[in-house]
């Protein structure tokens, strides 16, 4: 390699490294400026893009068959007026039509090409210290309530609930759980 070619490949390498660094820093900055604090309807862009694209038209709220999507209150800051889901009040039912995303007139909600296959509204975890099955009492209410079915949650051979990769973290099982507080814990996560 000639000295000139060596300088070009170094410049290219350094330029690409700087672009990657800028992209990562931009993502971190965006997360600090507009962190995700609410459960969003399916197909939502990452929070900074979602806030920029959402016109707060309310079409997704009207389209939700169970009324799970509501408008964020004025106290939500930058997110005020945007569509959110409060699973404690009314969880998403992971409807097959994904009506909310399909009626969005902007790119704030984009229906995933593979539907619910890789869509996650949050993260779901099981608190085994609360779950009555771990105390020897038969249950399975969460598994029976799950709108996604065996791809999301099933009972193991001992009758204990197991959360699987197909879980979309809609929150139906959290609300159905017989323990108080629920043995299933739903968090916003980074989706």
Please state the domain extents for the chain.
Answer: 35-116, 121-187
pLDDT at 22 over 50: no
CATH number of 121-187: 3.30.70.20
CATH number of 35-116: 3.30.70
Lowest-confidence region among 21-35, 83-97, 154-168, 171-185: 21-35
Q: Cβ neighbours of residue 85 under 8 Å, at least 6 residues apart?
A: 38, 39, 40, 41, 68, 69, 70, 91, 92, 121, 171
Residues 135-145, mean pLDDT to the nearest whole number: 97
Q: Which of 114, 125, 132 is nearest to 171 (CA)?
A: 125
Residue 26 pLDDT level (bands cut at 50, 70, 90):
very low
pLDDT at 51 over 60: yes
Q: Mean of the per-residue pLDDT values for the chain?
A: 87
- Give, in degrees to the nearest 5, the angle at Cα 37 between 151 and 57: 90
Tens of pLDDT along 105-123?
999 999 999 999 999 999 9
Residues 39-50, mean pLDDT to the nearest whole number: 94
Residues 53-79, mean pLDDT to the nearest whole number: 96
Q: What is the pLDDT of residue 90?
A: 96
Q: Cβ neighbours of residue 94 under 8 Å, at least 6 residues apart?
A: 42, 116, 147, 148, 168, 170, 172
The overall longest dimension of the chain from CA atoms, in Å, is 75
**3-state DSSP assignment of residue 22:** helix
Task: Tell me what percent of the residues of the chain surpass a pLDDT of 70.
Answer: 80
Residues 39 and 82 sit within 8 Å (Cβ to Cβ)? no
pLDDT at 76 over 80: yes
Same fold, 35-116 and 121-187: yes
pLDDT at 129 over 70: yes
Q: What is the pLDDT of residue 60?
A: 98
């Amino acid at each position: 390699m000639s000295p000139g070619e060596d300088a070009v490949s170094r410049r290219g390498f350094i330029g690409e490294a700087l672009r990657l660094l800028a992209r990562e820093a931009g993502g971190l900055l965006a997360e600090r400026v507009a962190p995700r604090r609410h459960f969003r309807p399916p197909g939502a862009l990452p929070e900074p893009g979602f806030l920029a694209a959402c016109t707060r038209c309310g079409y997704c709220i009207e389209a939700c068959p169970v009324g799970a999507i509501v408008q964020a209150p004025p106290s939500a800051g930058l997110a005020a007026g945007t569509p959110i889901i409060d699973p404690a009040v009314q969880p998403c039912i992971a409807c097959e039509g994904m009506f909310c995303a399909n009626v969005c007139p902007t790119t704030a909600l984009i229906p995933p090409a593979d539907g619910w296959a890789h869509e996650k509204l949050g993260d779901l975890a099981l608190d085994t210290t609360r779950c009555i099955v771990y105390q020897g009492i038969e249950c399975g209410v969460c598994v029976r309530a799950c709108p996604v079915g065996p791809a999301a949650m099933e009972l193991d051979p001992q009758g204990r609930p197991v959360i699987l990769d197909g879980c979309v973290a809609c929150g139906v099982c959290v609300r159905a759980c017989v323990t108080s507080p629920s043995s299933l814990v739903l968090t916003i996560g980074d989706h």
